[in-house]
Chain A
């Protein structure tokens, strides 16, 4: 379960816990440099050390965490959340179609990113039906995003099940930071047309508000063999209000609603001739949500309640589902003496999905309501002031598929000096079965003319996938303008989902080749992620990163699964390298260039590729900014992932944007 209060002004527990006792580590600058000689613009970009506030939490967090900032999003001209995840080391983002992404953290890249948990402002984006996140439906006004925290490695102790390989925590800005209005509009060859607008202001001394709306239409990807069908458009709007109540209490109420159509092509199976039919049609997606969050600060302790309701509707050619989710989390943080901090919480989630398939795609039972109860406790002890911090905790979660799941972790961070930190962690995380693995019956026609069917059926014996993860990391800031970071991991996986082949049989004149979900796959992975960031001058910074992943899977004795090992291991790149350079030139011109090299994906038949993105932005007058953005500039089109029933390639994209703010 998510624990999404903002107990000490920070958002997720991933950061919060890292922070609680972290305190300030970076000493005040001792130089007597004359700041008054700097220009206003330079001053406004000068990073400061913070003595009183813990504004440098990442450095003291005992986990592999990367933060994509609002500045990153603005300077890159990124237009969707999954594209923003490319900015984090160790994260593999592959655009499958114009309207679909596959995301993997430390391996297991898949369309639904099933072993990562994604959260936006305390609301889970993980869909329990197919287990994963439909990234094309997860959006907000990117100008309102304060930051995206990406944690590599397990987070189950705090965040609950399915946070096995990583967490994506999207945090939007407080409305106190978004007063005034802006309108942005533009278009190009792929980002065909978009308009975004927001207006915010104060509510007479009691708080502030904002409302936003956005629309985009995107062109289809490149298809060598079929029509281009994956063009799409979405319209979304929403609001947020932040209220200051009596004392230091705070209340946030926010909500979104969206609707759009995504182009899809699907191979549908029928029990009548022709058994296999390919259809191209738009899938309507829509939904809405409302979240309320209340935080109460007492002497040295913080209490928060986060609750939301979320509705999603998907109408794909083969399947439609409407789902309602309600969740409530309570979290309490308290200090025990000067050196100890205890956090505990309770959560309850109910998720009710009503689906409709076809004769060849059924769920049994057709509707199911999931109830998840959880409790967690996490304690953090400062063993040596400013030097050594130890934390341990566990989450206990109950779901109706596998009963109780325990997800403990222990972390330690040692700071030999103010600008160095070494951390290590051991954690257990689980991915609980989804309805697909329990309730699905899917028959896939193998031929249009012959009655041959493969049938995948759920299995009530499918249990949770279990992971033990061992991680270590090192951060150093050898100079104030240079930081280096390395993280290494070794994950051991057991009871991974496999697809077992059973004995073929004949049914009503059809030859059926049955497959059944089981847990007969195991394996281990190792890897490293290295990041460097250098502020060469006050107006120019560069960053480079490299990630290595080695994933070994094998089937257990008795397994008849011959495909899962190759398809899982061959869908994540062994090597990824990225570099970025960002300039703030005189005359209010910003230039950003980002390069990436991604290794081959044998299981997806995707060769290694290099790509380059760039943006030039010019503030013509204070209120008007013009920008030109180029994405995937090196090739007319390139493949990033295989697709079903046929793959597509992502095309070079150029768009122009004008933004007016007042």
Chain B
């Protein structure tokens, strides 16, 4: 009996190696910002903007320091949202663009965050950021990296205030949801 267990375990290990290695070798892990960029694309798909915000093209803007680089362009290349072309834009101005559907606020803008969010009031931009406490300070979606997995918090009150309709599929994936709206 004593020898059975190690032999069985070894067999299991060997079978694991044999069956898994080929598939796994083809699938290295993506980087954090590749996944975050893919999430931005999904946000575009799973959020409905009010009609007033409609107008070509669909603008994804990055404010301040851009952690994505060309990943963002590559992610949105050749894609469209509801038949609208996607335009990726970087802005360095102190005030956010008024026509962006998705606005990613870079970490460099943290000191002016309150000001930026205030100037967006009344508009319908989905605000997204990496920074800690973003949703608590009035942002809509804050990315988090936990245990090698990217997930996010949502401030539903802010989403609703901007008259955005967020799919429940997206909301239920959130790690923390602030606000009683939705669902």
C-alpha gap A616/B24 in the complex (Å): 27
Q: Is the CB of A50 within 8 A of B145?
A: yes
Q: Which residues of the partner chain B approach A48 to less than 8 Å between Cβ atoms?
A: 29-32, 34-35, 145, 148-150
CB contacts under 8 Å to A, within B29-53, are 29-32, 34-35, 37-39, 41-42, 46
Q: Is the CB of A178 within 8 A of B176?
A: yes
Q: Which residues of the partner chain A approach B145 to less than 8 Å between Cβ atoms?
A: 48, 50, 53, 55
Q: Which residues of the partner chain B approach A147 to less than 8 Å between Cβ atoms?
A: 147
Q: Which residues of the partner chain A approach B132 to less than 8 Å between Cβ atoms?
A: 176
Interface residue SS majority, chain A: mixed
Size band of the B side of the interface? 35 or more
**A503 interfacial contact with B, CB 8 Å:** no
C-alpha gap A30/B175 in the complex (Å): 29
Q: Is the CB of B9 within 8 A of A544?
A: yes
Q: Is the CB of B2 within 8 A of A29?
A: no
Given the known A-B contacts A484-B13, A575-B6, are A40 and B170 also in contact in the complex, defined by CB atoms under 8 Å?
yes
Q: Is the CB of B21 within 8 A of A179?
A: no
C-alpha gap A69/B149 in the complex (Å): 12
CB contacts under 8 Å to B, within A324-376, are none
Q: Is the CB of A49 within 8 A of B32?
A: yes
Given the known A-B contacts A46-B30, A179-B176, A622-B183, are A202 and B136 also in contact in the complex, defined by CB atoms under 8 Å?
yes
Q: Which residues of the partner chain B approach A38 to less than 8 Å between Cβ atoms?
A: 38
C-alpha gap A49/B29 in the complex (Å): 6
Per-residue contact bits, chain A 531-543, to B (CB 8 Å; 1 contact, 0 not): 0101110000010
Q: Give the interface centre of A26, A48, A478, A536 by most chain B CB atoms within 10 Å.
A: A48
Size band of the A side of the interface? 35 or more
Q: Separation in Å of the A540 CB from the closest CB of chain B?
A: 11
Per-residue contact bits, chain A 48-88, to B (CB 8 Å; 1 contact, 0 not): 11111101100000000000011100000000000000000
CB contacts under 8 Å to B, within A577-625, are 577, 579, 597, 599, 608, 619, 621-623
Q: Separation in Å of the B125 CB from the closest CB of chain A?
A: 21
CB contacts under 8 Å to B, within A13-41, are 26, 28-33, 35-36, 38, 40-41
Interface residues, chain B, with chain A CB atoms under 8 Å away:
1-2, 5-6, 8-10, 12-13, 16-17, 19-21, 23-32, 34-35, 37-39, 41-42, 46, 74-75, 79, 132-133, 136-137, 144-151, 153, 168-173, 175-178, 183
A55-B148, A479-B24, A479-B28 given. 14 additional CB < 8 A pairs? A29-B28, A44-B173, A47-B149, A49-B32, A50-B32, A70-B147, A179-B178, A479-B27, A482-B16, A482-B24, A544-B12, A544-B16, A545-B9, A579-B12
Interface residues, chain A, with chain B CB atoms under 8 Å away:
26, 28-33, 35-36, 38, 40-41, 43-53, 55-56, 69-71, 147, 176-180, 202, 205, 208, 244, 478-482, 484, 530, 532, 534-536, 542, 544-546, 548, 574-577, 579, 597, 599, 608, 619, 621-623
